[in-house]
Structure 1
Amino acid sequence: MKTVFPRPEGGLLAVAGSDVAFPVRRIYCVGRNYADHAREMGDTGREPPFFFAKPGDAVLSIADGETGAMPYPPRTQDLHHEIELVAALGSGGRDLTPEQAAACVWGYAIGLDMTRRDLQGEAKKTGRPWEVGKGFDHSAPIGPVHPVAATGVLTRGRIGLTVNGQDRQSGDLSDMIWTVPEALAYLSTLFELKAGDLVFTGTPAGVGAVRPGDLLQGSIEGLGTLQVRIAT
């Protein structure tokens, strides 16, 4: 069918050790999924998971060994970093069990959920949606997708972030309140999951502000590192 203008291309991610790309459909994010970060943001205990979304074209794909350049976004004075394990889905469905959801994971990547914290805070106070705080252009820097066939299922391992060489965030994947299969299963009761979906699975405590010129280096055991420079 003809279109009134060329169909926009979606985001593409590199696949580690391959010349093929992973096409992005949607980006979902699990909120407050590490106990220490949940306490940091005011939650206690094991509350039911909640989710928000970013546009699929918000990805900033960064090849292995490269330093990505993320423009400092407009209308904010408080840009925050959040290092996360990203689950990349190769299949999906509705009302999945955790076992079925686990089988949908095609691979994993290191991602940054960049947040205009001041705009998010204003939205929270007025009961408005978070999109301006979470879903802006280039708000999802992501490294290469590592196939689960190569990494195995990731349930534990160090996750951390440094800014200009100084430690900011540190935790372990085993600290998640909701495991990746549990979070995906819950998410599938709200949306039909499909191949190409990315799910950011939460961040440890220690989120904080970055400024133009800062160098962010995120790492997850088994996935290597992700480097991003905040540009002007």
Structure 2
Amino acid sequence: MSANEIRNIYCIGRNYRLHALELGNEVPEEPLVFTKPTHAVVPMAGNIVGLPGNMGEVHFELEIVLRIGRAYERDIDTELCIDAMALGLDLTLRDVQSKLKAKGQPWLAAKGFKGSAPLGEWFAYPGAAALAGSEFVLMHNGEEAQRGNPADMLFNVSELIMYVGEHYGLGVGDIIYTGTPAGVAALHDGDQLQAVWAGTTVGSCSVKLV
């Protein structure tokens, strides 16, 4: 699926307890959903990703991304809705987000800017049991920056699909960024990033602040 085939981009905030706590946020009692425009998607395929360099810190957040291949219906086996997965970055203008949160305003300016959703290659979804037994890692300039286990999600894949499907609708071509583990930090010009799933690099890029 290319960027122009993606329909809706749903993102889940604070879906790992330690990430919520590291930013001083409350741990949510139900999924916290926001969206990004499709223009946020860029490949994470060894390319350079240009990001705003004059709007404060840009933070990386590595996440499991689910691709929907069958529309959600009530009482459907949610496993049937997923036809692939990837690792992607939910990039965040953290200083901008902090100002928006203080004013009670939407996060779009902090989360939806062009290039804010680098996306690695799609690969087969292994099923819920195998997913919970795997780990994903973000390497930042050759050093481990984040390590996540889907078993630590506050709301698992099935719960996310049901929640998004019931509240907003979920159809073919939609994708879900499922939340990031702890360890987020600011990016700098020239940084190198690698997304690793079960020991295999499935996405990489370098950063250019402009």
Normalized against structure 1, the TM-score is what?
0.82
Tell me the secondary structure at the aligned position of residue 162 of structure 1.
strand
Matches within 5 A, 1:147-186: 147-148=124-125, 151-153=126-128, 154-186=131-163
RMSD, matched Cα: 2.0
1:222–1:161 Cα change, 3 Å: closer
Query: Do the aligned residues in 1 keep the contact of 2:193 with 2:204 (CA within 8 Å)?
Result: yes
Pick closer, same or farther for the CA change 1:43–1:79 going to 2, 3 Å: closer
- The within-5 A match list for 1:82-161 is 82-93=61-72, 96-97=74-75, 100-148=77-125, 151-153=126-128, 154-161=131-138
Contact 1:218–1:226 under 8 Å retained in 2? yes
Please tell me the residue identity of whatever aligns with 1:81: F
Counting matched residue pairs gives 207
Query: After superposition, what is the alpha-carbon deviation per residue over 1:180-202, rounded to whole angstroms, capped at 9, x for unaligned?
Result: 11111011121111100010001
Aligned to 2:166: 189
Q: TM-score, normalised by structure 2?
A: 0.90
Alignment gaps of 5+ in structure 1: 1-10, 14-21
Paired residue type of 1:59: V
1:163–1:215 CA contact under 8 A, matched in 2? yes
Percent identity at matched positions?
35
Q: Which moves more between the two structures, 168-177 or 123-132?
A: 168-177
Distance apart, 1:177 and its partner CA: 0.9
Tell me which stretches of 4 or more aligned residues in structure 1 moved more than 2 Å: 41-46, 99-102, 151-156, 222-225
1:33 paired residue number: 15
Asked if 1:57 corresponds to 2:47, the answer is: no
Deviation at 1:43, TM superposition (A): 4.2
How far, CA to CA, are the matches of 2:195 and 2:90 in structure 1?
Answer: 11
Q: In the aligned structure 1, how far is the partner of 2:40 from the partner of 2:199?
A: 25
Displacement of 1:44 after TM fit? 5.3
* Secondary structure of residue in 1 paired with 2:70: coil
Distance 1:160 1:90 in 2: 26
What SS does structure 2 have at the residue aligned with 1:182?
A: helix
The Cα shift of 1:49 comes to 1.0
